[in-house]
Chain A
Amino acid sequence: MKNEGEASEQPDNTAFTQQQLPAWQPILSAGIVIPGFLIIGLAFLGIGIGLFLTSQTIQVLEMDYTGVEKDSPCFQCTIQSVQNCTCEVTFSLSALFTGPVFFYYGLSNYFQNFRKYGVSKDYYQLTGDTQYFKSPRDVCFPYSHDSKNNPIVPCGAIANSMFNDTFELYQIINGTKKKVPLDGKGISWWTDFNIKYRNPSSVNGSFASAFDGTVKPINWPKAAYELDLTDPNNNGFLNQDFLVWMRRAALPQFRKLYRRITEGDYAGGLPAGNYSLTVHYNYPVLSFDGRKKLVFSNVSWMGGKNDFLGIAYLVVGSLCVVMSVVMLIVYAKFKFSDDDDA
C-alpha cells in the first residue's frame, strides 16, 4: 500500500517552523525594577501634587434649589398646582470667582442611563430627515404619538424629559439688580452641534412648516422650532440646551453645563458681592425623590474640581516609592543569603 503522507517532504528549515525565532527574553531583574519603581513613584508623586494643587485652586459653588425644606426659597414651587412658578435664590461671594465661570445644573437620583430611556429617540428625526417625522421609530414608544395619534417630533423619552428650568443671574449692586450675561453657546459638544444633529431644511422659507403634521413632545411647553426664537442657529434640534440634554449622563447623579459666564464685565469672573438667581421652576423631581442643584465652577486644564485623581496619584506614587525601598531591603538580604548558599 502506498504511503499516505507522500506530500510530506523534508520540512522547511526556517527559524519559524523550528520554533527558533530570535526572541527577547525579558528578565525583570531587581536592577531594573527597583529604579523603575522609584522613577514611576516619583513621577506619580509629582503629577499627584500638581493635580491636587490644581484641584484646590478650582472654586466651586453648589446650591440645592429643589425646595424640599419649607424655608427654602423654591418651596412654594414644589406644590403641583402652581404654574409658571419662579423663585429667587440668593448667594454672596466673598471673593472674586475667577472666570470664565461655568454654570451647571445638577440632578440627582435621576436615571438618564435607564436602558429603555436611553434608546428612546429617533436619530433619523434628529438629523432632520422629515420622512421620520411622520412615522417615528418604535423605540420612541410611548413617546412617539400623542393621544390623538399625531407623531411627536422629536420623539422619545429623552427629548420629552428635557430639562426646562431656566435661570437668570443678577448681581445685586446697591439694591439694584444687574443682569449677568449668560453665554449659551459652546456648551454642547462641537460635533453634536455641527455634525451629528441637523435641523430639517425650511419649507417655503419657514422653519416651522418643516414640522407640519407633527406635535411637540408632551412635556414641552413649546415646539422644537420655538426653542430659541431669538437665534435661528440655536433653534430646533440644534438648540444647545437640547443637545446637552440629549447626551445622556453616565450616573444617576450628574451635572450638565447650562451657561458660561464669559461676557462683558463678568468675563474675568464674578466679583465679590451679592447675587440673585431667578429660577423658572418647571422641572418636577420630587416624585422620584430627586434633587436639583446649581453649580458655579471654574475649570482648569484637568477640567472641573476633582480631588480623586490627585489623591490617587499621590497614593500610588508613594506606594511605588515605598515598594522600591522595601524591595531594595529584601533584595539586599536575598543577595546575602544567595551568597551564603553559593
Chain B
Amino acid sequence: MLRRRLNRLCGGDEERVDSRTIYVGHRPCPDTEAFIPSKFCDNRIVSSKYTVWNFLPKNLFEQFRRIANFYFLIIFLVQVIVDTPTSPVTSGLPLFFVITVTAIKQGYEDWLRHKADKEVNKYPVTVLEDGRSVKKESEKIKVGDVVEVVEDETFPCDLILLQSSREDGTCFVTTASLDGESNHKTHYTVPDIEKDLQTLTSAIECEQPQPDLYKFVGRMHIYKLEQEPVVRSLGPENLLLKGATLKNTKKIYGVSVYTGMETKMALNYQGKSQKRSAVEKSINAFLLVYLSILISKAVVCTTLKYVWQSKEGQDEPWYNQKTQKEKDTNMYLKMFTDFLSFMVLFNFIIPVSMYVTVEMQKFLGSFFITWDKDFFDPEIQEGALVNTSDLNEELGQVEYVFTDKTGTLTQNNMEFIECCIDGFQYRYRDTQSEVDGFTVTDGPVNKLQQKAGWEKEELFLRALCLCHTVQVKEAGSEVLVDQVDGIDGLLGFIASSPDEIALVKGAMKYGFTFLGLESKSMKIKNRQNDIEEYKLLHVLNFDPVRRRMSVIVQTKSGETLLFCKGADSSIFPRVRPEEVDRIRMHVERNATEGYRTLCVAYKQLSAEEYAMADTGLREARLALQDREEKLMAMYNQVEMGMSLIGATAVEDRLQEEAAETMEALQGAGMKVWVLTGDKMETAKSTCYACRLFQRGTELLELTVRTLEDEKLNRDQKLHELLQEYHNKAVKDAPPVKAGVTRSWSTANQDYGFIIDGATLSLLMNPPHDADASQYKSLFLQICQNCTAVLCCRMAPLQKAQIVKMVKNSQGSPITLSIGDGANDVSMILEAHVGIGIKGKEGRQAVRNSDYAIPKLKHLKKLLLAHGHLYYVRIAHLVQYFFYKNLCFILPQFLYQFFCGYSQQPLYDAAYLTMYNICFTSMPILAYSLLEQHISIEILLHNAALYREIANNAMLRWRPFLYWTVLGIFQGLMFFFGVRFLFSNPALQDNGQVFGNWSYGTIVFTVLVFTVTLKLALDTRHWTWINHFVIWGSLAFYVFFSFFWGGIIWPFLKQQRLYFVFANVLSSVSAWLVIIILILLSLLPEILLVVLRKPRGHHSQQLSEDSSTDTNRWLRSLLSPTRI
C-alpha cells in the first residue's frame, strides 16, 4: 500500500499505473486511509504550437531546419568570419527579412489557434462544489469535479453520468461531432446512486485514457452510511464523451474522469505535424541540384585558381603583392577560404528571395479563396476559410479524395420518398390534390386494378407506425427546432436512427400518425382520425448482423401481430418467395437510385405461437451466459414465415450538387474514397446516389458479412477474397499503357470496393504478421483499380490509417480529406490537404482543416480552378526563380576565368542585392498571383484539364532541365556577348574606354531586361497590374541605375558605379549590344511560344489529348513526312 502511494506521489509518469482512481466531488472514501489528490492534467485543450515564451527559439529552430534557411545562415556566417568579396549585409539582410516574415506569419496563424482554443477553454460550465453550483471556465474542470450540463450543450470533458433529469435515469446524446452518427444514443446513470449528489461518497476506478471511443471499463465503489460499499461496473453506456451534445434531457450531472488532452476526443486527434506541399519537396530537390552546381562551381574555381597560380608570376605579380600574413597562411587553409569565398560569391544562385516570394505568393494568393464569392454561402453568411496557406498548390495535385459521408456527401436529412405495397409503387406528391395525396405512379402492367387492396395499404401503414423504436418528443422542449430530430408540424420524434423518423413521418403523410408510447401501449391515429391502441409486447431490437427489427403487438381485438422491417437481403429469405418477386424489382430500382430501402413484413401469431415466443424471449433475456447468442437464436426463430407487405424508399438527401461534384472530381482523374462510420447499406446507397457507384459497377465487398464462411476462418477467407478480387480487378484488367496511369479510362468494367472497419483492422493487423504487407499491397492494388472505394464502419483513427496507407503507397500520391465533424479530424490532419466543411456538426473539423468551405459543391471550384491555377502559378514561380538566378550568377562565374580567379564580383553589390529583391521580384509575384493561363470558366467546364498538371507535371525533372538549359544558354549569351564587345573597350565616340563596372553593368542590364521579358512572354493573362509591374520594374531598374550612379553616396567607401550607367548609355555600341543580346536570348523562347499551339477558347476540345499539348506544329516541323 505504502509503495503504491509512493509511486503515485513521485512521478506516476514513469510507472504509469494502468488504472486511475477518481473521488467523486473530491470527497475521500472511507477505506482509503488518507485522501491523496492525484494529479491529472487540467481540462485545457491545446491545439496551438507555440506559447509566448517558446515562440522565438522554437520558431527559429523550426525555420532553420529548412535546408534553404540553414544554408543562408551558413553563408551569412561565412561572410561574417571570412574575408569575402561581398559584405555580410548582402545575404544577412534578405535572410533576416525571410525569417521575420515567416515568423510573423506563423505567429499570426498560431495566434488564431490560441484564440480558438481559448474559446473552448473559457467556455462557461457549471460545477457542483460544496452543494453550490459554481460557474467556471471549462479549462478549470478537474478530474473528480461534478459537472452540470444542460440540454444542447456539449460535454466539456469525459463524464460518468451520475444523475439525469429524466425519470428513468437515462439521457440522450448525439455524437455527431465525434463519430458522425447523428442519431440519439441513450446513456445510463449508474444505479444505486443517491439522489443527493452532495452526500455521495464514491470512488471510481477506471482505465487510463485510451482513444477508442467505444471502449470504457471501470468500477464505481459507492459508499453508503452504515452499509457495505456497493460496487458497480461501468461501461461505455455510462460515459459521456467530450464533444458529444446532450439532447432531449434538461440537465445531467456527471463526474469528470478524463479531462483536457486526455479526453477521448483529444486522443483521437493526431499530433500536428507541419504539412509540406509536394512543391516544397520539388523545391528542395532543385535546391540540392543548385547546391551541387554551386559547390562544383566553387570547386572548379578553386582548383583552377591554384593551377593558374602555379604558373610563374601569376600568383603574385609585382603590382599586387600579398601581405605578409597572406604569405604565411597555410596553403590548405587558403584553399579552404578561397573555396568559401567562391561559395559566397556564387551563393546568389540559390535565391533567398524565392522563399520570401513563395511565402508571399501563398499568403496573398490564399486571399483569393477567401474572397471568392462563389464560396459564399448565404445560409451561414460565411465564405471559405484558409487556415494554412502553405498548401494552395497542393489543391491542384490531388489524386485521392477521401470524403466523409454524413454531413459531407449527404445532408443527413432523411426523407420518405416512396413505398411499394404489394407490388404497387406509391409516391407521395404534394402537388396532387387527392385527399390523401397517396397515388399510384406505376404498377404491374398485367394487373387491371390500380391500387393494392385497401387492407394491404392500411396494414402496411400500421406496420410503419408500429414497427420502430421512435419516441415522441415531449411538448415544451421543442423550442429549439433541430433538423436532425426532424420536427415537422406539431410532433417531434426521437429515434436511434433518422430512417425510422422518416418512416414514421412518411406514414403520417398518408394518414397514420404515431402518437406515442404510453405505458406499453402505442397509440396511432388512423385515416379516419380514430385513435387505435396497440399493446407493445416485445421489441426485437435492430442489430447489424440480423439487419432487421421487429415488434410484437397486440391489437384491441386480441390479435397478436409481429411486424418486421429490415434490409431486403435479410427479409426476403424469411417470407414466401412468391411475394418476393413482386417487390424485388422496386427494391432494386430504388437501391440503384440511391435510396435506402427497407422491406416490411408481418405475421400473425396464434396464441400458442406467441406464448412460445414470449417465454423464449424472456428466458433468453435473463440468461446469464451467452445471452446474445440465445437472443439471436430466439429472434431468428420468431421472425420466420412472415408475409411481405411492401417496401419503403427513404432518401438521405445529398448535399447540393454532390453528384456533379463527385463526377467532376472523377473526371479530373481523382479517385474518390468514402470513409464513413455509418452502416454499409446506408453508405452504399449514398455512393449510388452520388454516382460514385453506377449501375454497371461491380462491387467487390470485403466486409464482416462476406467473411462469414462455414468452412474457413475469417483470416483464410480474407486471404481468399483478396486474391479473388485482385485477380478480377488487377490481373484481368486490360494492361495499363505506360503513361496513362489513370485507371478510369482503362477499365472496361468498373469496380467498386467496399470494406468495413472490422475487416480493415483484420487486414492491417492479421494474426500472422507476415501477411500484413502482402495484404496491404493486395488491398492497395485492388483499390487503385477501382473507380470508387467505400469504407464503412470506420473509427476516426481508422480513417486516418487508410489515408496514411494510401499516402505512403507507391508513388506517394497526394491525398485530400474532406469532412465536417470531429470524427474526420484525424483524417483531415493526416491527408496532404485537409478540408473542413462548415457544417452543422460543430467546428472541430474546420478548426483542424487547412481549408474550410461552406458546402461540398465548392470543392469543385477549389480544386479545379483555384488548385489548378495555384499549382501552375507556383510551379512557374519556382522554375522561373531558379532560372533567373542561374543566368544571373553564370556570368559572374565565367568572369572568374578572366580575373585570375580572384573572386572579383562582376556586378556591383547594390545590383547583387537588389536583383532579386527589387528588379525582378515584382513581375513574378504579380504573375504568380494573377496568371490564368486558362480561364476559370474553362477550367471548371473541363475537368479533364486538371489531369494535365497531375503528378507534379510542371516541376518534374524535364521542365526543370529545360529551364536550366535556358538559364545556361542565356547566361552564356550575356557574358560572352559583352566579352566580345569588350575586346575593344573603346566604345564611346570620344575614344574613352570602359572599365570593369561598365562591363558588369551592361551584362546586368541585358540580364534584367531579358529575364523580365521572358516572363512577359510567359504571361498569358495581362491585367493592368501585370503591365504596371513588368514595365514598372524595368523603368525602376533604369531609374535606379541612374540614381545610384548619379550621386556620390556619402556612406559608401567607394563610388564604383558613379556615372557608370549613364556613361554606358551614352555609347551607341552598348545600346546595340544590349538590344541584340536580349533578342538573341529570347529567340528560342519566342520560337517556342509561336510554335506552341495557342490555347484559346477553341483549344478546350483539343485539350483531351494532353500529351499532344506540346504542339503539333513542332512535330510537323520535326517530321514533315507525317503530313
Residues of chain A having any CB pair with chain B under 8 Å: 1-5, 8-13, 17-19, 21-30, 33, 40, 44, 47, 51, 100, 102, 104, 110-121, 123-124, 137, 141-143, 157, 160-161, 186-189, 191, 195-196, 244, 247-257, 260, 284, 287-289, 297, 299-306, 308-309, 312-313, 316, 319-320, 323, 327, 330, 333-334, 336-337
- If over half of A's interface residues share one DSSP class (helix, strand or loop), that class is named, otherwise mixed; here it is loop
By a CB distance below 8 angstroms, the chain A residues around B1019 are: 26
In the assembled complex, B37 has its CB within 8 A of some CB on chain A: no
Question: Are A250 and B985 in touch, CB under 8 angstroms?
Answer: yes
By a CB distance below 8 angstroms, the chain B residues around A120 are: 320
Question: Are A19 and B932 in touch, CB under 8 angstroms?
Answer: yes
Interface residues of B in 901-936 (CB under 8 A from A): 902-905, 930, 932, 936
Interface residues of B in 981-1038 (CB under 8 A from A): 981-1000, 1019-1026
Known contacts A9-B381, A23-B1023, A189-B1059; 11 further A-B pairs (Cβ under 8 A): A5-B385, A22-B1023, A110-B317, A111-B899, A123-B1053, A143-B321, A189-B992, A195-B1059, A252-B898, A302-B1069, A333-B1120
Name B985's contact: one of A5, A249, A327 (CB within 8 Å).
Answer: A249
Name B1072's contact: one of A21, A47, A123, A191 (CB within 8 Å).
Answer: A47
- Using known A-B contacts A17-B368, A157-B319, A334-B1116, determine if residue A255 contacts B1072 with beta carbons closer than 8 Å: no
Mark the stretch among B10-18, B371-379, B630-638, B803-811 that contacts chain A. B371-379
Q: Can you sample 20 A-B contacts with CB below 8 Å?
A: A19-B932, A25-B1020, A27-B1094, A115-B903, A115-B904, A123-B1053, A157-B320, A186-B990, A248-B995, A249-B993, A255-B993, A256-B993, A288-B314, A302-B1069, A303-B987, A303-B1068, A304-B984, A306-B984, A309-B1076, A316-B1079
Question: Are A257 and B1116 in touch, CB under 8 angstroms?
Answer: no
CA distance A157 to B316 in the complex (A): 12
Question: Are A250 and B995 in touch, CB under 8 angstroms?
Answer: yes
By a CB distance below 8 angstroms, the chain B residues around A305 are: 984
- Using known A-B contacts A21-B1023, A27-B1094, determine if residue A297 contacts B986 with beta carbons closer than 8 Å: yes
Question: Are A11 and B372 in touch, CB under 8 angstroms?
Answer: yes
By a CB distance below 8 angstroms, the chain B residues around A8 are: 370, 382-383, 385
Name B930's contact: one of A19, A47, A121, A248 (CB within 8 Å).
Answer: A19
Q: Which residue of A lies closest to B986 (CB)?
A: A304
- Using known A-B contacts A27-B1094, A289-B313, A334-B1113, determine if residue A114 contacts B900 with beta carbons closer than 8 Å: yes
- Using known A-B contacts A118-B996, A121-B1054, A303-B989, determine if residue A23 contacts B1021 with beta carbons closer than 8 Å: yes
In the assembled complex, B330 has its CB within 8 A of some CB on chain A: no
List the 6 closest pairs (A to B, CB-CB), nearest first: A161-B319, A304-B986, A250-B999, A288-B313, A17-B371, A102-B991
CA distance A192 to B750 in the complex (A): 81
Name A299's contact: one of B321, B322, B991, B1090 (CB within 8 Å).
Answer: B991
By a CB distance below 8 angstroms, the chain B residues around A257 are: 986, 991-993
Interface residues of B in 308-334 (CB under 8 A from A): 312-314, 317-324
Q: What is the minimal beta-carbon distance from B955 to any residue of chain A, in angstroms?
A: 23
By a CB distance below 8 angstroms, the chain A residues around B1024 are: 21-22
Q: Which residue of A lies closest to B899 (CB)?
A: A113
In the assembled complex, B120 has its CB within 8 A of some CB on chain A: yes
Name A116's contact: one of B372, B902, B932, B1123 (CB within 8 Å).
Answer: B902
Name A248's contact: one of B313, B371, B996 (CB within 8 Å).
Answer: B996
In the assembled complex, B712 has its CB within 8 A of some CB on chain A: no
In the assembled complex, B481 has its CB within 8 A of some CB on chain A: no
By a CB distance below 8 angstroms, the chain B residues around A143 are: 321
Question: Are A1 and B843 in touch, CB under 8 angstroms?
Answer: yes
By a CB distance below 8 angstroms, the chain A residues around B383 are: 8, 10-11
Question: Are A250 and B998 in touch, CB under 8 angstroms?
Answer: yes
Question: Are B319 and A11 in touch, CB under 8 angstroms?
Answer: no
CA distance A24 to B1067 in the complex (A): 36
Q: What is the minimal beta-carbon distance from B1044 to any residue of chain A, in angstroms?
A: 14
Q: Which residue of B lies closest to A313 (CB)?
A: B1076
CA distance A94 to B1067 in the complex (A): 31
Question: Are A51 and B320 in touch, CB under 8 angstroms?
Answer: no
- 1/0 per residue, CB under 8 A from A, across B1086-1123: the answer is 11011000101000000000000000110011001001
In the assembled complex, B53 has its CB within 8 A of some CB on chain A: no
In the assembled complex, B235 has its CB within 8 A of some CB on chain A: no
Question: Are A117 and B320 in touch, CB under 8 angstroms?
Answer: yes
Q: What is the minimal beta-carbon distance from A316 to any residue of chain B, in angstroms?
A: 6
Residues of chain B having any CB pair with chain A under 8 Å: 85, 115-116, 119-120, 123, 154, 312-314, 317-324, 367-368, 370-373, 375-376, 380-383, 385, 842-843, 846-847, 869, 898-900, 902-905, 930, 932, 936, 977, 979-1000, 1019-1026, 1048, 1053-1055, 1058-1059, 1063, 1067-1069, 1072-1073, 1076, 1079-1080, 1083, 1086-1087, 1089-1090, 1094, 1096, 1112-1113, 1116-1117, 1120, 1123
Name A196's contact: one of B902, B1058, B1096 (CB within 8 Å).
Answer: B1058
Q: Which residue of A lies closest to B319 (CB)?
A: A161
By a CB distance below 8 angstroms, the chain A residues around B846 are: 4
Question: Are A254 and B993 in touch, CB under 8 angstroms?
Answer: yes
CA distance A157 to B324 in the complex (A): 15
Q: What is the minimal beta-carbon distance from A233 to any residue of chain B, in angstroms?
A: 18
Q: What is the minimal beta-carbon distance from B987 to any residue of chain A, in angstroms?
A: 4
By a CB distance below 8 angstroms, the chain A residues around B1025 are: 21
Question: Are A160 and B1113 in touch, CB under 8 angstroms?
Answer: no
Question: Are A111 and B1090 in touch, CB under 8 angstroms?
Answer: no
Q: What is the minimal beta-carbon distance from A205 to any residue of chain B, in angstroms?
A: 28
Q: What is the minimal beta-carbon distance from B591 to any residue of chain A, in angstroms?
A: 39
Question: Are B372 and A250 in touch, CB under 8 angstroms?
Answer: no
Question: Are B902 and A33 in touch, CB under 8 angstroms?
Answer: no
CA distance A141 to B990 in the complex (A): 35
Question: Are B1116 and A330 in touch, CB under 8 angstroms?
Answer: yes
By a CB distance below 8 angstroms, the chain A residues around B1090 are: 28, 30, 33, 327
Q: What is the minimal beta-carbon distance from A331 to any residue of chain B, in angstroms?
A: 8
By a CB distance below 8 angstroms, the chain B residues around A161 are: 318-320
Q: What is the minimal beta-carbon distance from A137 to any residue of chain B, in angstroms?
A: 7
Question: Are B996 and A112 in touch, CB under 8 angstroms?
Answer: yes
CA distance A327 to B320 in the complex (A): 55
By a CB distance below 8 angstroms, the chain B residues around A157 are: 319-321
CA distance A302 to B988 in the complex (A): 7
Name A19's contact: one of B119, B368, B842 (CB within 8 Å).
Answer: B368
Question: Are B992 and A187 in touch, CB under 8 angstroms?
Answer: yes
Name B321's contact: one of A142, A189, A256 (CB within 8 Å).
Answer: A142
Q: Which residue of B lies closest to A304 (CB)?
A: B986
By a CB distance below 8 angstroms, the chain A residues around B385 are: 5, 8
Question: Are B1055 and A196 in touch, CB under 8 angstroms?
Answer: yes
Interface centre among B993, B1019, B1080 (most CB of A within 10 A): B993
Interface centre among B991, B998, B1055 (most CB of A within 10 A): B991
CA distance A252 to B985 in the complex (A): 12
Question: Are A113 and B983 in touch, CB under 8 angstroms?
Answer: no
Question: Are A309 and B320 in touch, CB under 8 angstroms?
Answer: no
Question: Are B382 and A5 in touch, CB under 8 angstroms?
Answer: yes
- Using known A-B contacts A10-B373, A10-B376, A303-B986, determine if residue A23 contacts B1022 with beta carbons closer than 8 Å: yes
CA distance A111 to B370 in the complex (A): 59
Question: Are A191 and B1058 in touch, CB under 8 angstroms?
Answer: yes
By a CB distance below 8 angstroms, the chain B residues around A44 are: 1076, 1079
Question: Are A302 and B1068 in touch, CB under 8 angstroms?
Answer: yes
Name A40's contact: one of B842, B1055, B1079 (CB within 8 Å).
Answer: B1079
Question: Are A313 and B1086 in touch, CB under 8 angstroms?
Answer: no
Q: What is the minimal beta-carbon distance from B369 to any residue of chain A, in angstroms?
A: 10
Name A312's contact: one of B321, B1063, B1076, B1112 (CB within 8 Å).
Answer: B1076
Question: Are B317 and A288 in touch, CB under 8 angstroms?
Answer: yes
By a CB distance below 8 angstroms, the chain A residues around B381 are: 9-10
Q: Which residue of A lies closest to B1026 (CB)?
A: A23
Question: Are B904 and A114 in touch, CB under 8 angstroms?
Answer: yes
CA distance A52 to B979 in the complex (A): 18
Q: What is the minimal beta-carbon distance from A337 to any residue of chain B, in angstroms?
A: 5
By a CB distance below 8 angstroms, the chain A residues around B899 are: 111, 113-115, 252
Question: Are A260 and B382 in touch, CB under 8 angstroms?
Answer: no
Q: Which residue of A lies closest to B904 (CB)?
A: A115
By a CB distance below 8 angstroms, the chain B residues around A27 are: 1094, 1096
